[in-house]
Amino acid sequence: MKKIFLPIIGTFILFSCGPKKDPNLTYFEKAEEYNDYIIKEQVELFAAFDEFIHQMETGNMDQLQASFDKLYERSKTAVERMEKLADFKKNTEFRDKSKELFIFYKTQCETDLKEMLTLFEKDTLMTEADQIRIEEIANAFDNTEKKLNDALIAAQEAFAKKFNLELVEDKPL
């Protein structure tokens, strides 16, 4: 009996002293689930941004403000979720690059996109200088967003390679 009892106690102590999971973090056991969690945040953020751009082109100010608010809230949520996402088997690059992109969107909502919204509120009183500023904001946004998104894609590809995950591109319907 003593021979059986000692290995059981040893196993119990080994598992009790092992690393504890932080209850405030989100964990995934499968690389595919981890990937999908991050990409879902990216897709939802991009959808909110697309809606904002659409409203900028066609909507009235109330619709534009509503889509801006939705974009800002979505970017904050994406950042919060990345802050609470644990590493995946000590790999953090994919999560970190996602977080950088999401922080960029959040910061842009607090600064340049907010300024752009204010300029659009001028409507018929918008000056040529206002239009030039809107174009400057849009160009700077596009350039930085592309760099951050490219870095995210590279990190996702490296993650997929490291954890033998096959990435499937969504095809338009």
- Residue 20 reports pLDDT greater than 90: no
Q: Residue 133 in contact with residue 119, Cβ under 8 Å?
A: yes
Measure the CA dihedral 67/69/71/76, to 10°: -170
Please tell me the distance from the alpha carbon of residue 128 to that of residue 93, in angstroms, as a whole number. Answer: 43
pLDDT value at position 17? 52
Average pLDDT on 139-160 reads: 97
Q: Alpha helix (H) ranges present in the chain?
A: 2-16, 31-58, 61-83, 93-110, 112-121, 128-162
Q: Residue 159 in contact with residue 91, Cβ under 8 Å?
A: yes
Q: Residue 107 in contact with residue 78, Cβ under 8 Å?
A: no
Q: Is residue 13 exposed (0-12), middle (13-18) or buried (19+ Cβ within 10 Å)?
A: exposed
- Residue 51 reports pLDDT greater than 90: yes
pLDDT value at position 122? 87
Q: Which of 161, 142, 27 minimizes the C-alpha distance to 86?
A: 27
> Sorting pLDDT into bands at 50, 70 and 90, what band is 169?
confident
- Domain residue spans of the chain: 28-162
The two three-digit tokens of residue 108, written as one number: 């842009």
> Sorting pLDDT into bands at 50, 70 and 90, what band is 173?
very low
Query: In the CATH scheme, what is the code of domain 28-162?
Result: 1.20.120
pTM of the model: 0.85
Strands (E), the chain: none
The two three-digit tokens of residue 6, written as one number: 């000692």
